[in-house]
Amino acid sequence: MRQRIVVGVDGSPGSLAALHRAATEARERHADLHVVLAWQLPGGGLGGRTTYGPAV
């Protein structure tokens, strides 16, 4: 089974640097590179909520 390298990006300079490093590692190790884009809807959306309705 091939190795897998996973990196998360959000467009920030730090995440793009991590992507470049992960790509280099994947190339050197002959591994699969999986890039995950992380973002949140403006205003929070469902992912930003800590509760989903009134307490029971």
pLDDT in tens, 23-49: 999 999 999 999 999 776 666 665 555
Classify residue 2: in a domain, yes or no: yes
Q: What is the DSSP string of 14-38?
A: HHHHHHHHHHHHHHHHT-EEEEEE-
- The residue segments making up the domain with residue 5 are 1-32
- 41 assigned to some structural domain: no
- pLDDT-based confidence at 1, cuts 50/70/90? confident
Determine the pLDDT at residue 11.
Answer: 86
**In this predicted structure, which of 5-9, 11-15, 46-50 has the lowest mean pLDDT?**
46-50
Average predicted confidence (pLDDT) for the chain: 83
What phi and psi, each to the nearest 5 degrees, are found at residue 24? -65, -45
On whether residue 21 sits in a domain, the answer given is yes
For the chain, the domain total comes to: 1
